[in-house]
Structure 1
């Protein structure tokens, strides 16, 4: 039986997904949580895990180097990869929001928006009928309005503490985000039985835990 390869992002999503997999009855080794390896084999479950940057997970799944992946809905919206979403795992709750300095208005002439999510941000402001200039940044998004680079930012908000610590306020909530189980379309056809079993087992975990 061919092993299933699952791409997972490092960090919070990984930690919460590992808990779910264990609750679903998958026997993962004790050192799994603390591993610094990028590829982890779990032969007793016939599984292999690839640890990746969050934005890379859908790419690995789309191109078939991973059969399955766990990715935030924010990444799915931004990347628009050719994969299927199988299950909302209801983990890593957060949301995308528009934020900026308090008591400020956007420049009426070519307002600028800093974000890690240029596609999502462009679509959102286009739907609002606003023409904006998107500036893509890879880190420290909160600094953009402080130093006068942009009028607003579009970023992930979890507790709101990071915005508060940097003197920013939330202006608009764009979309709620949770992590999803995604699959390569070909893998889903070829290994449908095993993949559906995983979906069913994880679904049982979701059904018995409180939804935030």
Structure 2
């Protein structure tokens, strides 16, 4: 395929397809999801906080809209769920499944006490927070949950990664469902070809410290091998 360039000559089209978007979404779901649905990192979440009205009373609806406006003005990505045609429990479960990091729930008793119930998706649990403190406290809560999710992911990765020194050990670790780090100088292209017999592949090549290598054959490079899933 070619196109007419601005100088009037035919040029070949340059294109590539590496599917990064769908792969990243799949990795996010697999790494962070749990038995209750998604858990979306706060920095990536389209909606960071959802404010729910427990009852459809007009004073409650007015308060959740007010809270939503104040959080939005503070730079938080917020959605106000003021639906009155769906039970509160169903709506709360829906947002939990979608992985929204924080739910702020307001009912008549909360309105009377000047508080809101804050439910955190990532660590779990709820706590009552004064409505006047929400704008001040929620940004820190979101950053704390971001750091917690990252720490959990790193711990999960490290607990499933084995340092090995032989081809056989690499295959054993990968077949067991984990990752193996093996020196590229030990594995090499011949060893890489042999991995295919066990449905194992080199997932990436990194420098010894885990950073991007300066070259494929740089001294100290490490191959991370595993089964595709």
TM-score class, shorter-chain normalisation, is under 0.3
- The TM-score with structure 1 as length reference comes to 0.26
Task: Tell me: higher relative CO, structure 1 or 2? Use CA pairs within 8 A at least 6 residues apart.
Answer: 1
User: By percentage of residues, which structure has more helix?
Assistant: 2
- The TM-score with structure 2 as length reference comes to 0.25
User: By percentage of residues, which structure has more strand?
Assistant: 1
